[in-house]
Structure formats: structure tokens, C-alpha cells
């Protein structure tokens, strides 16, 4: 397939900036310098060798690496905070004896989001009980039913939003979250009822990143355990140890996935969580791209190629070491992304090799 990179650039403008103006991201030196100084410096030095010129594919690849601007990220977070403040009001009455806590997860919380209007998660955590990992034992066992407690928490959240934010549309049909849209919210806010899960690692270290959460799944009527704070911390450490290159790689591949889904009008069965996990497995050494930003496309492609083999696909885990959900992270999804990134490397042609030699 031949990609229309002028169209991809226009769509990137819509996704990142909410406009269809034909802004060319790499040519906007101020934007590069303001939001990703490393990418700006890489671009500036590369331009001295005159290989960037006006190549749309190069502009697309570098633009896809850049973060969403602070302006839009602040706007996303302000919507989440508005909902949090409304739900906090329940601590003055319904949950006075066991106050709710609020935490954050997802791509906005770890700065790998690629949309100016990204959805944002608000974990709403009950104070009534905490689950302990075996063999820990509670001093005072919880005598009520945790599932019923989380069901009630979800119902109370719905009622509170409807009462205080009547113009907001409340969709309570999702399995793990209550979706809030419209009214004063310019992005979708997902309210996620949950309880704390104190792992043995947390009991040993008292480091809060090792506290897990159990999310209430309405459709399965059970709780799902995950470790969003540990996950985010590992991504943060990886990014720091690679000079910010790791998260640029994540944004690049997430952007390619989003744009290919739009072009093909078909979902690629590999999740954002899976993308972060796959690229986390790449050695720090390979992320040493120096002054050669386009080299990162090859690094991403090589990682996809490795896991596109059935024998290696089974080795893929998240950064914590847990297997990925095989329903939302398939080998066919990896192979589609590998094919698309291979095409882009071909479209860049000699430029990418010249960049590698310069580095």
C-alpha cells in the first residue's frame, strides 16, 4: 500500500491539535523547541545535512514522536479534576466514615497519549476495605461483600454526577468504567470504581508504586487486578534511562496504529498497553539513536519483527512481567504494525541510511 503522507500530516494535526490546517509539525520550530527540545535539536542538526528538505514522510515520522502540547494536556487534566471534585463531595456525607481516594492511570498519566482530546481515567477507590495478597492476613476481616460494595460505589458515582453535573451524559454500560461526556467536559472522563490491593512487595517495602488496584468489572461481576502505578514508574524509569527516546518510540507506534486504523477502517488488534510493553522490552542500548531521530523507526520495526515470530510472541510480557491479554494483543496485530512500519522505512528510502551514517 502507498501512504499519502500529506493526508497523514493533516490527520495528525486534527488528532494532536484539533485542527485541519495543513501545519507541518517539523517545520514549526517553535513547537518543537517548546514541547520536545531533544527532537528540536535533532531536527536542527539533521537539517544541516539537507536530507529533511520538504519530505512529508520524514515530517510525519518525527511529528508522530512528539508529545501532545502542555496546553491540551492541561485541558484534559482539568476535566478529570472537575469530575474528581464532584465525586469528592460524597466524602462529606455518604463516605464520611471511610473516605474515597482518587488516583490516575492510562496514557495521559504517563505522557504517551497522542490526542489533544484523549480520554482520561479517574480511579475512584473505596475506603471501606483493602484486599491483601496471600499469605498476608487482615487484623480485622471485612465482613461485608466486596463486590456488593463496589457495585454500590458505582451506583453512587452515577447518581452524584447526574445530580451535580446534569448536562453531562452518563453512560453506565461499560464493563469497568462509567463514561462521562458532554456538558462542561471537552474530553471523555472514565470513572473507574476500585479497591486497593496491598501486594506482598508493598508490605515489604511500603513503596506506594507496589500497591495494586482491583477494578470492578460490571459485566463479569468480578474484580480485575492491575498495577498502574508500578507500570507508570517502570515506563518513567525506562524513559529517563534512554534520554526520553523510549516514550517517543511509544508515541510513534501508537500514532502509526491510529492512522493505519483510520486508513484501513479496521481495528488493529494490539493495544496501547501492549505497545508500551513491547517497546519496553527493547534494550536501552538500541535506543541510543544520537542525533538521528528517524533511526527510531528502524528500532521500532526491529522490535515488531522479533515478536512477529510465533516462538517469540509467547515471550512478550508487560514491564511487570505479567502476560498480556491475548484477546487485545494478538500476533496478527503485531504483524500488521510490522508491515506498516516496513513500508514507511521503504518510503523514507536513502534518507534513513544517511541519517544513520551521520549518527
List pLDDT tens digits, range 309-342.
999 999 999 999 999 999 999 999 999 999 999 9
Cell of 183: 456538558
3-state secondary structure 171-186: ECCCCCCEEEEECCEE
Q: Is the pTM of this model over 0.95?
A: no
- The fold of 70-232 is Beta Polymerase; domain 2 (3.30.460)
Q: Measured between alpha carbons, how far is 249 from 5 in angstroms, rounded to an integer?
A: 19
Please name which of 117, 95, 102 lies closest in space to residue 188, comparing C-alpha atoms: 117
Q: What is the mean pLDDT of the chain?
A: 89
| Model pLDDT, residue 150 | 98
| Model pLDDT, residue 51 | 43
pLDDT band at 23; cut points 50, 70, 90 = very low
CA angle, residues 183, 117, 100, in degrees to nearest 5 = 65
Q: What percent of the chain has pLDDT over 70?
A: 87
What are the residue ranges spanned by the domains of the chain?
A: 5-66+242-358, 70-232
Q: What percent of the chain has pLDDT over 90?
A: 76
Q: Measured between alpha carbons, how far is 114 from 107 in angstroms, rounded to an integer?
A: 9
Q: Measured between alpha carbons, how far is 41 from 291 in angstroms, rounded to an integer?
A: 8
| Model pLDDT, residue 308 | 98
pLDDT surpasses 90 at 128 = yes
- Buried (b) or exposed (e) across 120-159, using 16+ Cβ within 10 A? bbbbbbbbbbbbbeeeeeeeeeeeeebeebbebbbebbbe
pLDDT surpasses 60 at 46 = no
pLDDT surpasses 60 at 88 = yes
Residues 234 and 172 sit within 8 Å (Cβ to Cβ)? no
Residues 301 and 341 sit within 8 Å (Cβ to Cβ)? yes
Average pLDDT, stretch 77-94? Answer: 98
Cell of 111: 505522557
pLDDT surpasses 50 at 49 = no
Amino acid at each position: 500500500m502507498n501512504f499519502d503522507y500529506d493526508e497523514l500530516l493533516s490527520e495528525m494535526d486534527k488528532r494532536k491539535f484539533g485542527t485541519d490546517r495543513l501545519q507541518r509539525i517539523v517545520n514549526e520550530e517553535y513547537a518543537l523547541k517548546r514541547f520536545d527540545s531533544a527532537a528540536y535539536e535533532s531536527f536542527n542538526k539533521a537539517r544541516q545535512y539537507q536530507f529533511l528538505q520538504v519530505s512529508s514522510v520524514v515530517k510525519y515520522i518525527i511529528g508522530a514522536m512528539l508529545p501532545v502540547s502542555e496546553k491540551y494536556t492541561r485541558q484534559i487534566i482539568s476535566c478529570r479534576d472537575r469530575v474528581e471534585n464532584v465525586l469528592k463531595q460524597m466524602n462529606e456525607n455518604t463516605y464520611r466514615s471511610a473516605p474515597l481516594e482518587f488516583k490516575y492511570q492510562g496514557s495521559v498519566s504517563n505522557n504517551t497519549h497522542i490526542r489533544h482530546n484523549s480520554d482520561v481515567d479517574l480511579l475512584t477507590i473505596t475506603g471501606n476495605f483493602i484486599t491483601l495478597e496471600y499469605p498476608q492476613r487482615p487484623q480485622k476481616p471485612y465482613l461485608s461483600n466486596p463486590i456488593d460494595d463496589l457495585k454500590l460505589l458505582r451506583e453512587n458515582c452515577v447518581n452524584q454526577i447526574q445530580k451535580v453535573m446534569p448536562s453531562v451524559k452518563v453512560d453506565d454500560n461499560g464493563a469497568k468504567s462509567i463514561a462521562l461526556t458532554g456538558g462542561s467536559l471537552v474530553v471523555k472522563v472514565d470513572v473507574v470504581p476500585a479497591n486497593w490491593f496491598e501486594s506482598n512487595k508493598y508490605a515489604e517495602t511500603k513503596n506506594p508504586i507496589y500497591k495494586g488496584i482491583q477494578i470492578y468489572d460490571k459485566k463479569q461481576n468480578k474484580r480485575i487486578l492491575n498495577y498502574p502505578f508500578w507500570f507508570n514508574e517502570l515506563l518513567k524509569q525506562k524513559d529517563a534511562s534512554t534520554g526520553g527516546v523510549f516514550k517517543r518510540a511509544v508515541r510513534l507506534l501508537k500514532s502509526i496504529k491510529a492512522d493505519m486504523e483510520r486508513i484501513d477502517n479496521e481495528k488493529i488488534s494490539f493495544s496501547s498497553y501492549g505497545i508500551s510493553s513491547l517497546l519496553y522490552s527493547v534494550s536501552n542500548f538500541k535506543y541510543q539513536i544520537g542525533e538521528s531521530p528517524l533511526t527510531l523507526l528502524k528500532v521500532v520495526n526491529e522490535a515488531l519483527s522479533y515478536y512477529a515470530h510465533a516462538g517469540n510472541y509467547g515471550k512478550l510480557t508487560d514491564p511487570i512481567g505479567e502476560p498480556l491479554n491475548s484477546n487485545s494483543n494478538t500476533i496478527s496485530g503485531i504483524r500488521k504494525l510490522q508491515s506498516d512500519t516496513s513500508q514507511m522505512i521503504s518510503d523514507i528510502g536513502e534518507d534513513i541510511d544517511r541519517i544513520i551514517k551521520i549518527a
